[in-house]
Structure 1
Amino acid sequence: MAKEEAHPFAFHVSGPRKISSPNWRDLISSSWKDGNYKRTVIACFIQAVYLLELDRQESKTEENALAPKWWKPFKYKLAQTLTDERDGSIFGALLEWDRSAALADFILMRPRGAPRAVLALRGTLLKSPTIRRDIEDDLRFLAWESLKGSVRFTGALEALKLAVDRYGSCNVCIAGHSLGAGISLQVGKALAKQGIFVETHLFNPPSVSLAMSLRNIGEKAGFVWNRFKSMLPSSSEAQTNGEEEEKTASGRGKVCAELKNWVPHLYVNNSDYICCYYTDPSGTAENHVSTSNASQGNVAAKLFVMSKGKQKFLEAHGLEQWWSDDIELQLALHNSKLINSQLKSLYTLPPPNPPQGKPQ
């Protein structure tokens, strides 16, 4: 038992130090209204998803499982696990407010700002049982700048829709790290296009600019790139159903004012080459859609940048940094070329007569 308690991923070993569980005082002034608290707890929920899969791989029992310790202190419970049907791995989890656990500690109601449910999605696990499918989706995103057509995108979208139907969009949020952040962004964007706005938190989201850079390195590399793309599964579906639809929509010039309600939160580190392109302020006028919607005066995305200075990649891409005691964040107010690209189709009306017969 002592050996188990000393596990490096145990909550009391690597979890946040200066954070408290909800208590009766939250009925008066909720900790969830503090952005730092919310970021910390949601990052812990994503860590729990990583550990759900590791617990599964190591055949841990309810008594010695690591994952539950990452949601129980905050009065949440596991409502659903999202499993990749291709390899049986757990890639996501729906966590719900645990009213019974809260009442046991004299918390009579859910604190203001605390979501009824959080859909958390993990990133890539470099372990043999999961690495193949994780890397497959990483490469899909790198090649097609889309995860539509992915088993995990479909599963996450269905789970989030069910949670919204049950609790309402204002009581649900989606969050992810790395590959999970890429899925979360696209799932949140897919719902926003339907007029359903879900709070979205993205930790170290992958930059599509990695693909852009590779495709611009020359004719020979371009040939290799196209050959590589042809080897990936569901390429036509991902490109046709996803990006061509967005390009058509982005050709329209009218702003859809209602979509200002969706404001994803992005947490990036400049030393992380996977997500650092989100801080690139450059862009051309014809492709420019401001991170603040100028005509409406509303923020389109909140970009939080780690300001520790240069770090090693593994530290800069890690999830643990987002609940560290000495975290230093800056809210980036400049326009981001990559956020503009990601959100461009949201702020234009769809074509008046969409093509029929294409599966959604």
Structure 2
Amino acid sequence: MGNSSSSSSGKYKKISSGESKASSSSSSSKNKKKYQMVDFALHGPKHLPPNWCQNEEHQYAVAACFINGVYVLEHERRQGRSKDDHVLARPWWDSFGYTLLQTLVDPDEGVIFGAIYLRVAAPESAPQMVMAFRGMVAGWDEISDPNTPSSSHIFSNTFSGMLKVALALQNTGSLGYYSKHGGAWLCGHSLGAAMGLIAGKFLATSGTYLDTFFFNPPIVLYYLRKGQLDFYTKSLWNDPIGLIAWNMFILAHKEYISNEGGKGFDNLVKWQPRLLVNPGDFICNGYIDYYEDRDSTKEACQLELSLPFVNPSACLVLNVGSTEECHGIKQWWDRNLNVERRPYVCVSD
């Protein structure tokens, strides 16, 4: 079962899918859509000390900023800025002593979905390398109008996501090296958190464990429990991001993740990814009930090798403070962030 903390799923107001849609469907033009949170001077955290890496909540803030840097990189690309002119994006990593080593670009669509950063001036206790993935943005990505999702959009985004996962996995070799020599972070938000979880799980089954920050990772467990018909029909309308993530997970597990002759599960148990969840966010709050209610014995947890969206061990970090936007990335660098940590460990022996 879960840890000693009581389940908080009943203490918080859960936003409905309709409320989320209303807040994210204001754009009618894919090319004119502008990402609003681009200026670090206006929107970035001002309270972090130079030794931010010594405080875990400060680490959440910096990891979220790395991800926002990816959002702003794509914003600048869409605004027609030079590939080498990252005036708006640069402060989101440069402020913490990092340089942009590489952008991860979808070769078919040309969109920037991820970035790799390298430590240049941060404290030595900070990670040497960071890989970050952004989520979807209404008006940018193909499922641009959440009021009119379609199965073709879902599966198109699924295979586009799988291509991105494949590109990400091609670049995980360096992360694996730095995880043992200087430290490495794997970060993602929303659908980007799903991509990161796939990549991290792939490495963990072979014995490479990354420090992770997965913000608002999508889970569609609620609809899955109601049966396959409800799962595909209702989640298509109420949680298309979660459905895309589910399809990505299933395909990725078939393609990349195996039990390594029985060692895969034993390796996976040792990895405890951080899942940063807002209890009011219907896209990710299913993780709370899942880990609170599950059986943590080895026999039960072994099923999780084939459940792509969960892991035998995990650390849930709940934002228990008040936030205006339950699914937004900005909440995680808020000066008044109030979190509750809930570690879950599979009893493997």
Report deviation, 1:218. 5.6
Q: Give the structure 1 partner of residue 106 of structure 2.
A: 84
Counterpart Cα distance in 1 of 2:129 and 2:59: 13
Report deviation, 1:148. 10
Deviations 1:57-102 (A, max 9, x none): 001245673110111111100000000112000000000012xxx3
Counterpart Cα distance in 2 of 1:155 and 1:127: 24
Q: Give the structure 2 partner of residue 242 of structure 1.
A: 253
| Ranges in structure 1 where 5+ consecutive residues have no aligned partner | 1-6, 23-29, 103-109, 291-298, 349-360
Is the 2:314–2:343 contact (alpha carbons within 8 Å) kept by the matching residues of 1?
no
Counterpart Cα distance in 2 of 1:162 and 1:250: 22
Q: Tell me the SS of whatever aligns to 1:317.
A: coil
- Change in CA separation of 1:241 and 1:11 when aligned onto 2, cut-off 3 Å: closer
Is the 1:137–1:150 contact (alpha carbons within 8 Å) kept by the matching residues of 2?
no
Counterpart Cα distance in 1 of 2:45 and 2:231: 49
Which of 53, 63, 71 does residue 50 from structure 1 map onto?
71
Report deviation, 1:112. 4.0
Which of 267, 277, 283 does residue 268 from structure 1 map onto?
277
Counterpart Cα distance in 2 of 1:325 and 1:213: 37
State yes or no: 1:152 paired with 2:161: no
Which of 194, 215, 232 does residue 182 from structure 1 map onto?
194
Q: Give the structure 1 partner of residue 173 of structure 2.
A: 161
Report deviation, 1:241. 6.1
Which of 332, 336, 339 does residue 329 from structure 1 map onto?
339
Report deviation, 1:278. 0.7
Structure (1 or 2) with the larger CA radius of gyration: 1
* Aligned-residue CA RMSD (Å): 4.2
- Give the residue type in structure 1 aligned to 2:338: E
Moved more, 65-74 or 41-50: 65-74
Which of 320, 328, 333 does residue 318 from structure 1 map onto?
328
Deviations 1:134-156 (A, max 9, x none): 9999945999xxx8980111111
Moved more, 274-283 or 50-59: 274-283
Counterpart Cα distance in 1 of 2:90 and 2:117: 10
- Give the residue type in structure 2 aligned to 1:207: I
Counterpart Cα distance in 2 of 1:220 and 1:139: 10
Q: Tell me the SS of whatever aligns to 1:119.
A: strand
Is the 1:148–1:154 contact (alpha carbons within 8 Å) kept by the matching residues of 2?
no
Counterpart Cα distance in 2 of 1:141 and 1:331: 36
Report deviation, 1:182. 0.5
Is the 1:215–1:221 contact (alpha carbons within 8 Å) kept by the matching residues of 2?
no
Is the 2:133–2:188 contact (alpha carbons within 8 Å) kept by the matching residues of 1?
yes
Counterpart Cα distance in 2 of 1:219 and 1:185: 21
Counterpart Cα distance in 2 of 1:263 and 1:32: 19
- Change in CA separation of 1:154 and 1:250 when aligned onto 2, cut-off 3 Å: closer
Q: Tell me the SS of whatever aligns to 2:90.
A: helix
State yes or no: 1:306 paired with 2:316: no
- Change in CA separation of 1:156 and 1:307 when aligned onto 2, cut-off 3 Å: same
Q: Give the structure 2 partner of residue 122 of structure 1.
A: 134
- Change in CA separation of 1:124 and 1:112 when aligned onto 2, cut-off 3 Å: same
Is the 2:198–2:249 contact (alpha carbons within 8 Å) kept by the matching residues of 1?
no
- Give the residue type in structure 1 aligned to 2:278: N
Is the 1:177–1:203 contact (alpha carbons within 8 Å) kept by the matching residues of 2?
yes
Q: Tell me the SS of whatever aligns to 1:242.
A: helix
- Give the residue type in structure 1 aligned to 2:135: G
Which of 205, 210, 225 does residue 217 from structure 2 map onto?
205
Report deviation, 1:164. 2.8
Normalising to structure 1: TM-score of the pair? Answer: 0.67
Counterpart Cα distance in 2 of 1:87 and 1:259: 33
- Change in CA separation of 1:172 and 1:141 when aligned onto 2, cut-off 3 Å: farther
Is the 1:173–1:200 contact (alpha carbons within 8 Å) kept by the matching residues of 2?
yes
Deviations 1:104-125 (A, max 9, x none): xxxxxx5243011100000002
- Give the residue type in structure 2 aligned to 1:15: G
- Change in CA separation of 1:284 and 1:193 when aligned onto 2, cut-off 3 Å: closer
Q: Tell me the SS of whatever aligns to 1:316.
A: coil
- Change in CA separation of 1:214 and 1:38 when aligned onto 2, cut-off 3 Å: same
| Structure possessing the higher relative contact order (Cα contacts under 8 Å, 6 or more residues apart) | 2
- Change in CA separation of 1:90 and 1:201 when aligned onto 2, cut-off 3 Å: same
Counterpart Cα distance in 1 of 2:301 and 2:152: 28
Q: Tell me the SS of whatever aligns to 2:286.
A: helix
Normalising to structure 2: TM-score of the pair? Answer: 0.69
State yes or no: 1:279 paired with 2:288: yes
Is the 1:148–1:238 contact (alpha carbons within 8 Å) kept by the matching residues of 2?
no
- Change in CA separation of 1:214 and 1:178 when aligned onto 2, cut-off 3 Å: farther
- Change in CA separation of 1:49 and 1:142 when aligned onto 2, cut-off 3 Å: closer
